[in-house]
A and B are shown apart, each in its own frame.
Chain A
Amino acid sequence: MQKNKRKRTIHPASLWTLPSAGLLLSLTIAPLVMLLLFSFMNRNLFAGQPWPGWTLGNFTRMFQAEAFWSLLWKSLGIGLLVTAICIVAAYPAAWAIAKVVRPRFRGTLMMVVILPFFTSQLLLIYAMMNLIQTGGIVMTALESLGIHGNSILYTNTATVLVLVYEYVPYMILCLYSSMEGIGDNLVHASHILGANRAKTFINVVFPMSVPGLLSGILLVFVPVVGTFVEPNLVGGSNGMMVGSMINTQYKDNLNMGYGAVLSCTLLIVLCVIMAIISYGARRAQRKIGGDV
């Protein structure tokens, strides 16, 4: 009689997910939990002081801090503006790369788009500063055209410009990945059914690009709102954004608890806004495409 030999195997799925689950746990969930815990602590746990004890003081302080709220609104405004400019600039670019140019130029153009990623962020900022500073190429050119004025460097406009410059490639890449999947036939079918270019864009291209658009917004809006490098370098004395304030709490004031509260609040606000944006986009998509 043959013995039914049971093969000994470790259930593979649980084993294979270990590395990714570990990464997620240690690099995303643990820091978030720590952030949450720190917000209930007085002062700085790592500053060599005795156990600070639990408190709600950071929250009361935040709700009373007008500077924080005005910086938060300002940062959200800049975030929305930069994202909007990126969307407007990236749609035609992504469409051109995905659909208009010949396939053999596509690689070259993609290379041009991702070229800035080969350089450090700081270098990009300094390069842009060089261009727009007083006596720089742009100002000199304007002056030779008879246009005189002050350089936009060290203003909020410069912050927006630099942020757009840094983040527009992300938006292009995201939109491109969605548009690549839109067959030429769909565009032709739309024309033959009586739609001009604008209507074809709204009814066919836009709904199909929503997934790319949403990931683009996520990749641009969230980091832009929380940034502190650009405002510190090119924003001048009135350039502060909410990220600068949080950075100050950690770096200069050594007030980790307060910094954690501000970070948590920013995180929650960003999540809510992203949820609203994504709901709005899906709703628009459903309005055009009908319920299923």
Chain B
Amino acid sequence: MSGLTVENLRKSFGDHEVLKGVSFHVESGKFLSLLGPSGCGKTTILRIICGLETADEGSVLVDGADVTKIKPEKRNIGLVFQNYALFPSMNVAKNVGYGLKMQKVPPAEIEKRVSEALELVKLGGYEPRRVTQLSGGEQQRVALARALVTKPNILLLDEPLSALDRKIRAEMQYEIRNIQRQVGITTVFVTHDQEEALTMSDQIILLHGGQIEQQGDPFTIYSQPASVFASDFLGKANLISGTLAQEDGQWFISDPAFRIPVKHVGGREGDRVKAAVRGEYFEFCAQDAPGANPFRLEKKIFTGLAWRLIGRLGDQALDISALGNSAGTMREEADYFVRIRPENVVYYNND
């Protein structure tokens, strides 16, 4: 089986169980993001894959071969560290060529491959520069070139963008993804930034408390969060409590003040449930339109891309985002009506 396979990883530090049995597989050439809040175990997984940490249980397979017991220097894995970890005593060329030198590649070939790798990350001609004099973005590129130049089987990225400012970060997201496709390398990317994970990945694994919370492609993960945690972590959905009800075959989440249509995926009438609805899925409508629910607008905030409309649905807080002009004329402390399509609502049983 080609690609990277992780089987039932368990790890404890003292009494604290960091990984509680994590298994996943990344197809060869795909880009997987491990997404989760700090302390969810994502970095530990990365360190186990590259051998800097040993798992208490479980195994790591690269292209079908078990590497769990192999030392990090023999694994041929490329890793980009959060703070780049460039060797300050070496210039750019020596940094990038370090892995090749360790593989005893002849100097002439090292020089050639280093310059190719630097071209790849758009730093051609940077060979004699001092790494300490490069900008954050440039250091990032050098680190990427250093990780790729040895043609590793797997590329691991440990929150490599978190130290960059917003604009360069967006540029590097695109750049890294582009290079990854070009090289066709199996990649695992660790991040706590949901936007980063959504824009860059083929697959996302959402981790929570050392376990996989949800796994899927970015669109599914965003639109069909599998749990309250998932809906809250990815894009901060509205959580609305209500009772499951049915009328003429259509299911609702109802409350004295509103009724939200849903697709029935389980549960019986009268069950207390929580619905997750993203703010951008609400649609303003007339009072007599089908499915209209009263919305009290309390505060509106302009965020650039959209208006953020904070208010109440009955007695529950609701945060709606509305694009463009429509919201510009809306007044605070006024009543409006909103509706939503059932396919945009997911609900969970109250625990």
A1 to B103, CA, bound (A): 78
B90 near A289 with CB under 8 A, answer yes
Total contacting residues, chain B, CB less than 8 A:
31
Interface string of B59-79 (1 = CB under 8 A from A): 000000000000111111111
B85 near A193 with CB under 8 A, answer no
Q: Report if A20 contacts B (CB, 8 A).
A: no
In A201-217, the 8 Å CB interface with B consists of: 203-204, 207-208, 210
The closest CB in chain B to the CB of A207 belongs to B89
A195 to B102, CA, bound (A): 6
Q: Report if A185 contacts B (CB, 8 A).
A: yes
Q: Report if B344 contacts A (CB, 8 A).
A: no
A192-B52, A192-B79, A194-B102 known; A292-B89 Cβ under 8 A: no
Main secondary structure on chain A at its contact with chain B?
A: helix
B85 near A189 with CB under 8 A, answer yes
A290 near B93 with CB under 8 A, answer yes
B88 shortest CB reach to chain A, Å = 7
A188-B52, A289-B94 known; A204-B73 Cβ under 8 A: no
By a CB distance below 8 angstroms, the chain B residues around A195 are 73, 98, 102
B72 near A203 with CB under 8 A, answer no
By a CB distance below 8 angstroms, the chain B residues around A207 are 87, 89-90
The number of inter-chain residue pairs (CB within 8 angstroms) is 79
B43 shortest CB reach to chain A, Å = 12
CB < 8 Å neighbour of B50 from A190, A192, A208: A192
B164 shortest CB reach to chain A, Å = 17
Q: Report if B284 contacts A (CB, 8 A).
A: no
A188 to B98, CA, bound (A): 13
By a CB distance below 8 angstroms, the chain A residues around B83 are 183, 185
B79 near A189 with CB under 8 A, answer yes
B109 shortest CB reach to chain A, Å = 16
B91 near A189 with CB under 8 A, answer no
5 other A-B residue contacts (CB within 8 Å) besides A186-B87, A194-B103: A193-B150, A194-B73, A290-B90, A291-B91, A292-B129
Q: Which residues of A come within 8 Å of B, CB atoms?
A: 183, 185-186, 188-196, 199, 203-204, 207-208, 210, 285, 288-292
User: Can you show 26 pairs from A to B with CB atoms below 8 A apart?
Assistant: A183-B83, A185-B83, A185-B85, A188-B85, A189-B85, A189-B87, A190-B87, A191-B52, A192-B50, A192-B73, A194-B99, A195-B102, A196-B73, A199-B102, A207-B87, A208-B89, A210-B89, A285-B89, A288-B90, A289-B87, A289-B90, A290-B91, A290-B94, A291-B128, A292-B128, A292-B130
Q: Which residues of B come within 8 Å of A, CB atoms?
A: 50-52, 71-79, 81, 83, 85, 87-91, 93-94, 98-99, 102-103, 128-130, 146, 150
